[in-house]
Amino acid sequence: MTTKMDTEESGQALLELSLACMMLCVLVFGIIDFSRAIYDVEVMKNLVGEGSSLASRGTLPGTTVTTVTTDAGTDLNISTQGCVMVTVVTNMGSNSLQVTGQASGGGISCTSKVGCLSGQGSCQNSSATLPTSAVSALQSEGLGASIYVTEILYNYQTITPITGLLGGTVLPSQLYAVAYY
């Protein structure tokens, strides 16, 4: 005995398939781009730690910037999509922390969240802004002690159409990492 398909249900399977495929695509695209963003942040954390460590051992800030940019290699294309900044903050006494050295490099323009070296660009004040733990550590070392800060800003670009499917604010367009030594 053969049964006839109801005409009311003739497109139901096609509609269900299209909705399932769309949800699967969003899930797969999301996994791909979120995983890449997490990987990029981890690479950046490693690079800023190594950069600050290198600077704290006496390497000049400009040399440290070049080394970090080179070490990023193909993982992060800092020469076109990022910026590396190395800042030297010195305890000048009387609760005064001053930027005493700074260098930056990369493919995008950026400003340090720590502070700027007076006389560079439009910088008028070389006061530094550090987290409370870094301030305490620097002040406990005494007058003239320095802390080395490496920052990386990176313009993140998705490789899948996830932002078009879910909106442009799903993933950050710029990633940031910082380390203090």
127-172: pLDDT as tens digits: 888 999 988 888 888 899 999 999 999 999 888 888 777 776 778 8
Average pLDDT over residues 105-116: 91
For residue 102, the one-letter residue type is Q
SS3 sequence, 8-72?
A: HHCCHHHHHHHHHHHHHHHHHHHHHHHHHHHHHHHHHHHHHHHHHHHHHCCCCHHHHHHHHHHHH
Q: Would you say residue 55 has pLDDT above 90?
A: yes
How far apart are the C-alpha atoms of 1 and 71, rounded to whole Å?
72
Contact, 68 vs 51, CB < 8 A?
A: yes
pLDDT of residue 5: 58
**What's the average model confidence in pLDDT over 45-70?**
94
Q: Taking the model in full, what pTM does it have?
A: 0.84
Whether residue 89 is predicted with pLDDT greater than 60 in this model: the reply is: yes
Going by pLDDT thresholds of 50, 70 and 90, the confidence category of residue 124 is confident
Domain boundaries, the chain: 11-180
Average pLDDT of every residue of the chain: 88
| Structure confidence at residue 45 (pLDDT) | 96
pLDDT of residue 165: 76
Contact indicator for 114, 180 with CB cutoff of 8 Å: no
93 or 107: which carries more pLDDT confidence? 107
